[in-house]
Amino acid sequence: MQGSPDLEDLGLFISVATTGSLSQAAWLTGKTPSALSKRITALELGLGHRLFTRNGRGVVLTDAGQALIGPARRLLEDAARLKSQVDDGAQSPSGTVVLGLQASISWPLMQMLWRRTQAEAPAIRLRVHEASTRQLVEELLQSRIDLGVLSDWGPERLQGAVLLHEAPLLLVGAASDAVTGAGPVPFTRLAGRPLILSWMPNGTRAWLETAARDAGISLDVIIEGHSMHLIRKMVQAGWGYTVAHRHAIEDELEAGALSASEIVEPRLVQKFYLARSSDRTPSAAAQRVAQWITQWREVDEAQAGR
């Protein structure tokens, strides 16, 4: 054997063998009879054997052609099956995606990702790490995670980060609180109120402290916490107020366990971004999860505009 035939030539060979006619096979394959004849001749030269002989009705297989027809069909079927598997893998990727999330947005985002993975790509496995903005920036730069969703309050800036959405900050109080149940709250009214905030270094906390200095007021932070879950519970118990965006307290607001009012004068807006690892080449699974997160931004914006 002088050379290996390519898949297209084998497909042309099978068309001629099936129809028994160069002209019919040429019509079926979209080629001219002369072009098809040249391809078959080249295939025969490559194999070192005649594959067809002519008779009065067209062409018939030689012994070499008879020996080739079965393996050629199986080879083309295997190639089609392989392509189908690759296409299926691209449509339904699998594998583990290491995802870093800022705590204040982790639960609503995970609810969406759970629904999407179960419905569209159940072979994707999420490995979720909840951390502060600064920690997530470091982990992305060191390629310890595939994707990160974080706010813009870190000193570093990540190349290629995509803005997901902007969320105004709210003063959050217990369900029956008079202040957080009476419309927007000017920032200066935070002065003297008992606040339960994350400890430093924390992006939201640093921004609030800077805004307080600019406004000439002092913040009375009575408890510092690291867990947003625990902070919500303490506010719900009536111990004080916290500052958060709506996603962080959405379940409690819908259940009537907390109340919240937008902070104004100045209006404080938190931005969230999707960032990728600086060195890792994203897998198909990571690309799919990133696509879902970006689409979640679009859904979020649509809901905000209702």
Summarised one tens digit per residue, pLDDT across range 152-196 is 755 456 777 888 888 899 999 999 899 998 889 999 999 999 999
Delimit the domains of the chain by residue range: 7-90, 95-166+271-304, 170-267
- Mapped onto helix, strand or coil, the DSSP state of residue 143 is coil
Residue 85: pLDDT band by 50, 70, 90 thresholds? Answer: low
Cα gap 196→83, rounded to integer Å: 57
Fold of 170-267: D-Maltodextrin-Binding Protein; domain 2 (3.40.190)
pTM over 0.85: no
Predicted confidence at residue 243, as pLDDT, reads: 95
The amino acid at residue 121 is A
Whether residue 197 is predicted with pLDDT greater than 70 in this model: the reply is yes
Token pair recorded at residue 228:
């947003």
Whether residue 304 is predicted with pLDDT greater than 60 in this model: the reply is no
For β-strands 170-174 and 242-244, DSSP reports them as antiparallel
126: number of Cβ within 10 Å: 15
Which numeric CATH code is attached to 95-166+271-304? 3.40.190.10
Predicted confidence at residue 56, as pLDDT, reads: 76
Predicted confidence at residue 1, as pLDDT, reads: 41
- What secondary structure does DSSP assign to 107-132, as a single string? HHHHHHHHHHHHHH-TTEEEEEEEE-
Helix axes 22-29, 33-47, angle to 10 degrees: 100
Cα gap 97→147, rounded to integer Å: 8
Mean pLDDT value across the chain:
86
Whether residue 89 is predicted with pLDDT greater than 80 in this model: the reply is no
| Contact of 133 with 151, CB cutoff 8 Å | yes
In this structure, the dihedral spanned by the alpha carbons of residues 101, 106, 109 and 110, taken in order and rounded to 10 degrees, is 100
pLDDT, mean of residues 119-145: 89
Same fold, 7-90 and 95-166+271-304: no
CATH class (in words) of the domain with range 7-90: mainly alpha
Token pair recorded at residue 3:
């050379």
Predicted confidence at residue 299, as pLDDT, reads: 47
Whether residue 148 is predicted with pLDDT greater than 80 in this model: the reply is yes
Of 272, 295, 293, which Cα lies nearest the Cα of 150? 272
